[in-house]
A and B are shown apart, each in its own frame.
Chain A
């Protein structure tokens, strides 16, 4: 038997009520002759026979409601040889949302595994052409450090031992610099602009100020060294200040790796003193000396610029007392130390000249509470105030 199902009578109407059959079982009918009158939600509709044949079975009685796609009439002796049952199911399936207005979208059964992706988002140290040149000249870029944010062709040629023209000297600064900021040409400044913009967009900064009484220090103490030790001690007490804040999760870090801000002709560098607690004084001092030299030459190795967990800016040698130093995400804290100075303060209930070191500590308030910051600063100050 060839089944004719109730067609979609327009705009996806779900069903219709049989009102009047125009054929009996056993009758012959020609294609397009009226088969049955049905009533939809909108109107009375004549359904014509889709092909000629003999009506073998009527699948519903007058007054019955039939869903669109359900069998309406069975024909005997028709031309095409479609199997019976699959057609019923096929039609019914078509009634479900086809999810497209044209054609057919294949409903696949393929199942994919969860997406796992290692995210390495480090920008490349060289453009493709420079990488290709390095490859051709057998220069291993991984073993070298670019002068700027990426290798230039000249650097690669020099490293290969080829005589390349010396890099042209930076043009002398003329007055009336264009209104375009110098950042356009200078990678270090551009990197700074990007980092600061990112900080501004993400961080909620708060800064707390205090002063440490350093009158008890021995002569010739390195302020930077004392600050490093104090930071390590304060971080031991308040670990949330030596931490990363990423994807709304605060992760305290060990050990304490201090990123030390170094001002150099090319701009600002922040080399990292790894694991301050485990390093001896001499080791730290030697590293600091080396970083300053490298910064002046404009070439600190990439690996030494990574891994900071907290920042230190000892700007006192340049000038200024207090500051609102900038927190650089994903770190959450930066310690600023200003120029130490002598002043008269009450000391054991007497007016005395004491030497004070101004401290400004900024933290990201998305991650760190005011209390944590205050306690960190107190610990810092106390450690610095010791002899």
Chain B
């Protein structure tokens, strides 16, 4: 570890992880539209077909439903398919195979067959793209039993979590926040070390406020935490990374300390995962809270075309506003509690 490894971006970390697993495990097969000769429209699979051959890194004909469906068949026979959907906005035809089959095959056959699949898709907005290329509908998939939903927020976590996802015997929807594909570089040693799934990451420690965010929103949340620090407020920032199954324990441990929580996500508000986290926090830690759990989210509108996308996405200002609402509530709560018998 350390200065020896070249610093790489999140998308390069994805490539590094895919290359590692293709080399390590002959059952791994990577496929999707334009992933082979073109190296993927975001270059996530750059160089892989040249290195591992067209039998292991394949360009498929165009049909997301087909991509999802053949992954199911392959996985039942012992291969480990890593299938790419070019954008989350185009994943919807594949819903049937992901929900009805990949997530259920183990249960349906009582463990006889299973689907060790990774479905990858770039997701989220903020890249000035045409309609349908900016979707964040992770909540739809998180609702599905038998499926894991994983969202990395740094190059190192992208590498470690993708390794874990590929090695996991059950299907994983791996959503890659494209807005931060190239936002930052980080040294990531290509040592094949996977990070744990189902486990949250504490990115910043603090005693005054818990902030939960994932994907590209982590960037704005950490920036907001820095601004709060200059006001003497230390925020603890937690990235669940695996949205489902959720590591609620780490979040509750934090709320035990801070008493206040803000959840940040770019996806729409209603029935977004902020709602699930808030529900669980109030179920298990109601007596700890000094303020209602705040949600900082996208609006319940159609994701706008890029002219207005900045207005839609929760930026640092909106995150700060949410944080301040949680902090301010404490004072008025103290006043109320003082007045009670």
| A-chain residues with CB within 8 Å of residue B195 when the two chains form the complex | 117
Distance between Cα atoms of A241 and B292 in the complex (Å): 55
Q: Is A282 an interface residue (CB 8 A)?
A: no
* Contact size range, B: 35 or more
| A-chain residues with CB within 8 Å of residue B249 when the two chains form the complex | 124, 128, 131
| B-chain residues with CB within 8 Å of residue A131 when the two chains form the complex | 249, 252, 284
Q: Taking each of A102, A107, A121, which has the highest tally of chain B beta carbons within 10 Å of its own beta carbon?
A: A102
| B-chain residues with CB within 8 Å of residue A117 when the two chains form the complex | 195, 201
| B-chain residues with CB within 8 Å of residue A103 when the two chains form the complex | 127-130, 133, 306
Size of the A side of the interface (Cβ < 8 Å), in residues, is: 28
Interface residues of chain B: helix, strand, loop or mixed (majority): mixed
Distance between Cα atoms of A103 and B288 in the complex (Å): 44
B42 touches which of A105, A113, A124, A247 (Cβ 8 Å): A105
Asked if A112 meets B184 with Cβ closer than 8 Å, knowing A100-B42, A102-B130, A105-B178, the reply is yes
Q: Is A129 an interface residue (CB 8 A)?
A: yes
Selected interface stretch from B55-63, B149-157, B207-215, B227-235: B149-157
| B-chain residues with CB within 8 Å of residue A108 when the two chains form the complex | 180, 182-185
Q: Taking each of A105, A107, A110, A117, which has the highest tally of chain B beta carbons within 10 Å of its own beta carbon?
A: A105
List A84-142 residues whose CB lies under 8 Å from chain B: 97, 99-108, 110-115, 117, 119, 121, 124, 128-129, 131-132, 135-136
A110 touches which of B1, B128, B130, B183 (Cβ 8 Å): B183
| A-chain residues with CB within 8 Å of residue B156 when the two chains form the complex | 112, 114-115
| A-chain residues with CB within 8 Å of residue B188 when the two chains form the complex | 115
Judge whether A110 and B184 touch: CB under 8 Å. Answer: yes
Nearest residue, chain B, Cβ from A97: B43
Q: Is B11 an interface residue (CB 8 A)?
A: yes
Judge whether A107 and B196 touch: CB under 8 Å. Answer: no
A119 touches which of B196, B256, B280, B287 (Cβ 8 Å): B196
B182 touches which of A101, A102, A107, A247 (Cβ 8 Å): A107
Nearest residue, chain A, Cβ from B256: A135
Judge whether A112 and B155 touch: CB under 8 Å. Answer: yes
Nearest residue, chain B, Cβ from A112: B186
Interface residues of chain A: helix, strand, loop or mixed (majority): loop
List B8-50 residues whose CB lies under 8 Å from chain A: 11, 34, 41-43
Q: Is B181 an interface residue (CB 8 A)?
A: yes
Judge whether B248 and A99 touch: CB under 8 Å. Answer: no
Contact flags B241-274 to A (C-beta < 8 A → 1, else 0): 0000000110010001000000000000000000
B41 touches which of A101, A119, A136 (Cβ 8 Å): A101
Q: Is B339 an interface residue (CB 8 A)?
A: no
Nearest residue, chain A, Cβ from B306: A103
Judge whether A128 and B154 touch: CB under 8 Å. Answer: no
Q: Is B204 an interface residue (CB 8 A)?
A: no
Q: Is B179 an interface residue (CB 8 A)?
A: yes
Judge whether A99 and B128 touch: CB under 8 Å. Answer: no
Judge whether B127 and A112 touch: CB under 8 Å. Answer: no
Q: Is B283 an interface residue (CB 8 A)?
A: yes
Judge whether A105 and B181 touch: CB under 8 Å. Answer: yes
A99 touches which of B182, B199, B280 (Cβ 8 Å): B182
Nearest residue, chain B, Cβ from A118: B202
Q: Is B187 an interface residue (CB 8 A)?
A: yes
| B-chain residues with CB within 8 Å of residue A110 when the two chains form the complex | 183-185
CB proximity of A190 to chain B, nearest CB, Å: 14
Contact flags A305-317 to B (C-beta < 8 A → 1, else 0): 0000000000000
Nearest residue, chain B, Cβ from A247: B193
| A-chain residues with CB within 8 Å of residue B196 when the two chains form the complex | 119, 121
B248 touches which of A112, A114, A128 (Cβ 8 Å): A128
Nearest residue, chain B, Cβ from A132: B284
CB proximity of B195 to chain A, nearest CB, Å: 7
Nearest residue, chain A, Cβ from B157: A115
| A-chain residues with CB within 8 Å of residue B155 when the two chains form the complex | 112
Distance between Cα atoms of A286 and B263 in the complex (Å): 53
CB proximity of A154 to chain B, nearest CB, Å: 18
Q: Is B311 an interface residue (CB 8 A)?
A: no
Distance between Cα atoms of A102 and B42 in the complex (Å): 9
Judge whether A115 and B127 touch: CB under 8 Å. Answer: no
Distance between Cα atoms of A97 and B182 in the complex (Å): 13
Judge whether B285 and A102 touch: CB under 8 Å. Answer: no
Distance between Cα atoms of A111 and B287 in the complex (Å): 40
Nearest residue, chain B, Cβ from A101: B41
Judge whether B11 and A106 touch: CB under 8 Å. Answer: no
Asked if A129 meets B133 with Cβ closer than 8 Å, knowing A97-B43, A121-B196, the reply is no
CB proximity of A370 to chain B, nearest CB, Å: 28
Nearest residue, chain B, Cβ from A103: B129
Distance between Cα atoms of A107 and B184 in the complex (Å): 8
Contact flags B76-103 to A (C-beta < 8 A → 1, else 0): 0000000000100000000000000000
Distance between Cα atoms of A115 and B13 in the complex (Å): 13
List B154-210 residues whose CB lies under 8 Å from chain A: 154-157, 160, 178-188, 193, 195-196, 199, 201
Judge whether B179 and A106 touch: CB under 8 Å. Answer: yes
Judge whether A102 and B284 touch: CB under 8 Å. Answer: no
Judge whether B285 and A105 touch: CB under 8 Å. Answer: no
CB proximity of B303 to chain A, nearest CB, Å: 13
Q: Is B338 an interface residue (CB 8 A)?
A: no
CB proximity of A246 to chain B, nearest CB, Å: 11
Asked if A128 meets B42 with Cβ closer than 8 Å, knowing A112-B185, A121-B196, the reply is no
Distance between Cα atoms of A99 and B39 in the complex (Å): 10
Contact flags A1-29 to B (C-beta < 8 A → 1, else 0): 00000000000000000000000000000
Nearest residue, chain A, Cβ from B196: A121
Judge whether A105 and B186 touch: CB under 8 Å. Answer: no
| A-chain residues with CB within 8 Å of residue B199 when the two chains form the complex | 121
CB proximity of B239 to chain A, nearest CB, Å: 12
Judge whether A99 and B2 touch: CB under 8 Å. Answer: no
Distance between Cα atoms of A147 and B2 in the complex (Å): 44
Distance between Cα atoms of A107 and B180 in the complex (Å): 9
Judge whether A115 and B186 touch: CB under 8 Å. Answer: yes
**What are 11 A-B contacts with C-beta separation under 8 Å?**
A97-B43, A100-B129, A105-B42, A107-B182, A108-B182, A108-B184, A112-B7, A114-B156, A119-B196, A128-B284, A135-B288
**Which 8 pairs from chain A and chain B are nearest by CB?**
A103-B129, A115-B156, A108-B183, A110-B184, A112-B186, A101-B41, A103-B127, A128-B284
Q: Other CB < 8 Å A-B pairs besides A112-B154, A114-B186, A131-B249, 11 of them?
A: A101-B41, A102-B127, A102-B133, A103-B130, A110-B185, A115-B154, A115-B156, A119-B196, A121-B196, A128-B284, A129-B283
